[in-house]
Structure 1
């Protein structure tokens, strides 16, 4: 009888959480066009909550700490938007215009280089290389054009920009101000029989999200600034654009550095060859960046692991982006972290359940015996 009640309670919990999941997905589908400023505000508040807690420890009230943090954040963001965005847009437009010329010059470089430097089979594939590069560039341009088209083609583009500039700081302010109270209120709603388990799961999800968003986000910003400044000082054309792009996608291990290295070295060969020194300096910028990332920044900012496998992360970005658009890209990492923690929890429970051991091993003693091989 007790086993039946337990199974009935388990079924009720499964049904309840499935209904909640369906409602959340339906909510995202229905309101995805207006969720951007609210999700951005929540992300900013989550990112800045540790700073607010430290200011409170120094004696500031929560209200004053929130005001100081958001004022500084908005000023820094506005300054970066005013100074950086025009330069990035200008370099991006010039880069798009110069791509065909760079591809042609790179083909000529391959054809004219001596066999002692470039093997014959590479030179013999120069035509195929050009076609492949052209295809890759056209596909990339099509993706970028489609992305910007989705952002700008609709009549809601201006509304989205205004809402980001106006609504996001307001949402961030109120959520950051009431963060601790909201957490306490949600904690009070948890069924008392499951409060310890739910708190443990929530703690693991918070660790995964915080380690990735706060740690990896800071890492991407630092690497983007380093690569952008380093390549610009070397004198590489579009160095700032390539460096910022490489840093921005560094949250996917190895992808950011490899893509940035490929773009930077390709342009450096066309721009500087046969001056080996400057090509070597471009390589040195990326090798130094990889050393700093792997030995200093990654251990300090992110830690050994945040529980997000690179393949799972890329799948989440593609899946949520396809389902919910740009909003899906914003929630992909937190959702992937939460799903990863929940899957590991479900797997651990399964490995301790009768479904795994069978009905013959129903008690802890029999399970221990089942695990221990006979001598």
Structure 2
């Protein structure tokens, strides 16, 4: 009996390793399907709300899809031109910042710490300005790159087209898929698996309906605030702060440093820098005292180091889509790790 249990554990472990290896090898193919599953999970509550109005499931899915595509189209139409203008403005701001560093910061470092110039700032300024001028025409560059690597773009296009297709069919049959998986569970472990799945659902809802709202709120707040202060690249810095807000303190640190330097160099007035500091003080206070406690709470439970590691690992294994999937997957893994830790504490190995 004891030997049989050990063999069963070995078989389970080997099966897990085989599945993990297969997932890694098939990662380029699996990415659209994983994104589709994630989108179906996110959108299903909206479809369920429409189902409660006694609409056919298929019609509910079509309505939600049309609404999402319309909203996405409006956002892209409004944001892309604004962001491109910000990059063009950045081609002017960066040389000014480098000149300020050369004329103010480097002499101060030299006089106080004896740090001499180790690089030719003029060459650096010329190089960065040239590259950012190229970035100003990013859309034309992207088009030329796309045309020169047609096979790669075709592959990306197929992946992108697969995502809405997979999402559509999963949404249509979401309840059937969940019921089928539930019926396959061994009765002996069903309660444990159901409990873990509910915990994963709480963690994911805490992330998507919490952390992403925090990031969006901060991005909008800082973009509007910095623009009203008069910073030419306020929208771009605000968006960056919102994206980096996923890692505690990193977004605010990067934002206040870049915004302060850019504001002082562009506007030449320290009073505007004080306004930037006041803006970030209000933003951070609002985030720590209201947004994060109310919208997120402690449901995600990822350490900042784990966040960084997850994003880097996801990007390495699955590329851009891996970065998008990294944190929700890591949060689910943390739920299972806590369960395994509890099982270990209760096992004979620990005692």
Q: TM-score, normalised by structure 2?
A: 0.83
Q: Does 1:193 align with 2:188?
A: yes
Aligned counterpart, 1:178:
173
Using the alignment, how far apart are the partners of 1:280 and 1:111 within structure 2?
Answer: 23
Aligned counterpart, 1:99:
94
Using the alignment, how far apart are the partners of 1:315 and 1:40 within structure 2?
Answer: 20
| Structure 1 segment 312-351 matched on structure 2, within 5 A | 312-351=306-345
Q: Residues 11 and 307 from structure 1, CA distance in 2 versus in 1: closer, same or farther, beyond 3 angstroms? A: same
Using the alignment, how far apart are the partners of 1:7 and 1:223 within structure 2?
Answer: 52
Aligned counterpart, 1:228:
223
SS of the equivalent of 1:21 reads: helix
Aligned counterpart, 1:366:
none
How far is 1:169 from its partner? Answer: 3.0
Name which of 68, 72, 75 aligns with 1:73.
Answer: 68
How far is 1:287 from its partner? Answer: 1.6
Q: Does 1:214 align with 2:209?
A: yes
8 Å Cα contact 1:229-1:240 kept in structure 2: yes
SS of the equivalent of 1:193 reads: coil
Q: Does 1:41 align with 2:32?
A: no
Using the alignment, how far apart are the partners of 1:129 and 1:352 within structure 2?
Answer: 60
Using the alignment, how far apart are the partners of 1:72 and 1:345 within structure 2?
Answer: 39
Using the alignment, how far apart are the partners of 2:35 and 2:14 within structure 1?
Answer: 31
How far is 1:54 from its partner? Answer: 3.1
How far is 1:221 from its partner? Answer: 1.6
Aligned counterpart, 1:269:
264
How far is 1:62 from its partner? Answer: 3.0
Using the alignment, how far apart are the partners of 2:34 and 2:87 within structure 1?
Answer: 28
How far is 1:173 from its partner? Answer: 2.4
8 Å Cα contact 2:32-2:159 kept in structure 1: yes
Using the alignment, how far apart are the partners of 2:59 and 2:9 within structure 1?
Answer: 46
Aligned counterpart, 1:11:
10
Q: Residues 112 and 26 from structure 1, CA distance in 2 versus in 1: closer, same or farther, beyond 3 angstroms? A: closer
8 Å Cα contact 1:226-1:243 kept in structure 2: yes
8 Å Cα contact 2:33-2:163 kept in structure 1: yes
Question: Which ranges of structure 1 fall in alignment gaps of 5 or more residues?
Answer: 358-375
Using the alignment, how far apart are the partners of 1:107 and 1:210 within structure 2?
Answer: 48
Using the alignment, how far apart are the partners of 2:244 and 2:118 within structure 1?
Answer: 28
Q: Does 1:121 align with 2:112?
A: yes
Aligned counterpart, 1:310:
304
Q: Cα deviations across residues 45-96 of structure 1 (Å, max 9, x unaligned)?
A: 2222223333334544433332232222111110111111122123124324
Q: How many residues align?
A: 337
Moved more, 152-161 or 218-227: 152-161
8 Å Cα contact 1:42-1:175 kept in structure 2: yes
Q: Cα deviations across residues 341-368 of structure 1 (Å, max 9, x unaligned)?
A: 22222221111111111xxxxxxxxxxx
Q: Does 1:278 align with 2:277?
A: no
8 Å Cα contact 2:217-2:242 kept in structure 1: yes
Question: Which ranges of structure 2 fall in alignment gaps of 5 or more residues?
Answer: none
8 Å Cα contact 1:110-1:126 kept in structure 2: no
Name which of 243, 255, 258 aligns with 1:248.
Answer: 243
Using the alignment, how far apart are the partners of 1:219 and 1:156 within structure 2?
Answer: 38
Q: TM-score, normalised by structure 1?
A: 0.79
Q: Residues 287 and 127 from structure 1, CA distance in 2 versus in 1: closer, same or farther, beyond 3 angstroms? A: farther
Q: Residues 196 and 91 from structure 1, CA distance in 2 versus in 1: closer, same or farther, beyond 3 angstroms? A: same
Using the alignment, how far apart are the partners of 1:329 and 1:64 within structure 2?
Answer: 32
